Amino acid sequence: MHQQDYNGCTKEIILENELIKNKGLRKFTPAVWINKILAFAQLKNAGLAIWKLPQDNKIHILCDLEGGSAIKEVNLDELDPGFLLAPFQAGANQNIHFKSDIKGIFELEEITSPAEGTTIDWETITEEKEIEISGIDLYKFSHLKLKNYPDLKSTRKEEYIKWVKNGIASIKREELYKIVPSKIKCIPIAEDLNIADAYLRACTNYSDAFVSLTYSPQTGLWMGASPETLIEDRKNEYFKTVALAGTQAKDGKSIANTAWTQKEIEEQAYVSRYIINCFKKIRLREYEEMGPKTVQAGNLLHLKTTYKVDTKTLNFPELASVMLKLLHPTSAVCGMPKTLSLDFLTKHETHDRAYFSGYIGPVHLDNRSHIFVNLRCCQFTKGKAIFYAGAGITEDSEPEKEWQETEIKCKVLANMVFNSLSGKR
């Protein structure tokens, strides 16, 4: 009996139809392409980044055949064009840079028939590698070969609420202004979980997010849908960064009629103040401030303020590299003041954040670097998916509500991973 796929057709028939109809054209559905490329990266111990920028309909593919390079300290100005993945705190998890040995792009579009497909516009690839990827068995990617974390368990509610209460107590003692404790949620996965399906669901459902899928021998397999820009830099034109904080579930009201509590307004104001203080440290006074305004990311709403600097007029081409070092980790994922917040999180959090709340994105591609805070993300391991989420705590926080906020945030990506596709691709 054949195994059924999400369209009700057998995987064997779909693959056979694609190969027969498109023989020699290397034309497959987006899901098949992504699965093939994942299998190729795992077999070759390569570094792989697949991503979609916010409000864009293009899927980008970049592969480093040497698996990526570890970087002790990130200096954007010294990096070759490629892709960057950095952890919350450097240590056991390293900063990793992928160079663009293989680079391609294709349009994200609805496929009306299982036998239809798309071609990839390969920008940098040899004919041999293209043939190798096209001919690979898309079912060779194995979750069983990923790292195993047998002792890793979901954060207990009582434990997280205790961290929140401790954070509130520190704020009332005026030791901290804000703290952002995180948690993990571990969910078992079936061996035949289709990562490509999950990724494409996220691309379709979260048009305003940076949707990424990365793999390397050092970092493992990660997927995310982040709404938060850390830095955007267009060479010799402009620099942007964003203050994004405050969270509530989207209801039936229009975004224009969304009401925010004092706690959420204050939380977002701390992040904005943090960015302005970073500008002050480098004596930068000329910038545009746009916001705060309510924005939607999936089924969640946030407060967002955008800051833009004309780097050409100011003759400050290295601003992005300077600000990246100053900003990370931002108060939106860590707290304020930064050093004391990091001490608090190191003392209380019992899990390793790894690449959650680090940063991720393409660098120096088409004269642009666009790096995002790695939020709404999960790591796939042997037998389980590990979902990460945090909540900003201020003096007015209610521990139960903060726990519920983290549950909602975990659910955002979990729905993409485990829910069935509503349409064909």
Q: How far, in Å, CA of 62 to CA of 199, rounded?
A: 16
Cβ atoms within 10 Å, residue 20: 9
pLDDT at 250: 84
pLDDT at 115: 54
CA 11 to chain centroid, in Å, comes to 29
The answer to whether 371 touches 224, Cβ cutoff 8 Å, is no
Q: How far, in Å, CA of 36 to CA of 125, rounded?
A: 15
The list of the chain residues with pLDDT below 50 reads 1-24, 111-114, 420-425
pLDDT at 116: 65
Q: Which two tokens stand for residue 349?
A: 């959090």
Q: How far, in Å, CA of 337 to CA of 174, rounded?
A: 11
Contacts of residue 93, Cβ cutoff 8 Å, sequence gap at least 6: 87, 219, 352, 354, 355, 358
Instruction: Give 38's Cβ-side CA count (13 Å radius).
Output: 29
State how beta strands 58-64 and 102-107 pair: antiparallel
Strands (E), 78-163: 82-86, 95-99, 102-107, 121-124
Q: What is residue 7's three-state secondary structure?
A: coil
pLDDT in tens, 83-125: 999 999 988 899 999 999 999 999 887 544 445 678 899 998 8
Contacts of residue 207, Cβ cutoff 8 Å, sequence gap at least 6: 54, 55
What is the model's pTM? 0.90
Place of tokens 């990460």: 388
Alpha-helical (H) ranges within 136-256 are 157-172, 195-205
Contacts of residue 125, Cβ cutoff 8 Å, sequence gap at least 6: 102, 103, 104
Cβ atoms within 10 Å, residue 209: 24
Q: What is residue 240's three-state secondary structure?
A: strand
pLDDT at 117: 77
How many angstroms separate the Cα of 144 from the Cα of each of 11, 173, 221, 271? 21, 48, 12, 40
The answer to whether 157 touches 389, Cβ cutoff 8 Å, is no
